Amino acid sequence: MKPKVHFRTIKDQSYQEVWDLQTKIHKDLIDNKLKKRSLPIDQQKIKNQLNELIFCEHLPVYTLGKSGSMENLLLRPDKINGDKIEFFKINRGGDITYHGPGQITGYPIFDLDEFFTDVHLYVRKIEDVIIKYLEIHNLCGIRLPKYTGVWLAPDNSFDKYRKICAIGVHLSRWVSMHGFAFNVNTDLSYFDKIIPCGIIDNDKTVTSLRKETGKTMNIDHVSHELGKIFSEVFDFDIKVN
């Protein structure tokens, strides 16, 4: 039996609201897992039905991962609110990034005991989802050694490696939270106020689907297609409200 995943999209909620929701779902999954272990062996094989896949368009916010450095925030902390941008230190991996309108921030909250217990494979599969989606637009997403996420290679139009999707996750008892940030119609000027992901290499920058294609995308349509690809790559049954 395939795992079952509830898929939903959220717009115009604060980062704190969505983080609180993530945390509750994450805790519920862990609690459910621990309860199952107290059941007879034959009943423990029943699949969880609490896995969630949430896609958000956040209000403007910078988030700093647990291994990140405040030096990569180029704004003074006391100036952030003046620019109407929130800032959070959070418990995912990675350094600093931006979330905001036009970007799909994805939160797979999965009990990986139902999928596979390999964190590296988990991250690679998230990358696979984005790479497969980019193929729809005739874009070739790639991985770069030592740089998690999905990139586009230098070409005739751009002379740098461009990061189009950042990834930062957190796992506890093999239950995942946080996830990825896919730049669709993102206002890339927000990245000028940080050193994205702490990467200072001169041959690397950030990009968006709109910048690469010259077209403004329908976010709802992108979310729908991305959700379908997620279900194929991770091999789960998708449930939508």
SS3 call for 142: strand
Q: Quote the strand ranges of the chain, DSSP E.
A: 4-11, 51-57, 61-64, 86-89, 96-99, 103-109, 141-144, 147-152, 161-172, 175-183, 204-206, 237-240
Own/partner pairs for 122-129, CB < 8 Å, 24+ apart? 122/169, 122/171, 122/176, 123/148, 123/167, 123/169, 125/233, 125/234, 126/167, 126/169, 126/179, 126/180, 127/165, 127/167, 128/233, 129/226, 129/229, 129/230, 129/233, 129/234
C-beta separation of 207 from 188 below 8 A: yes
For 99, the token pair is 């979330």
CB atoms within 10 A of CB 128: 19
Considering 56, 140, 165, 197, which one is annotated as catalytic?
197
Q: Looking at the chain, how many residues does it have?
A: 241
C-beta separation of 57 from 107 below 8 A: no
Active site residue 197: yes
Residue with token string 């799909």: 104
C-beta separation of 44 from 89 below 8 A: no
Residues belonging to the active site: 197
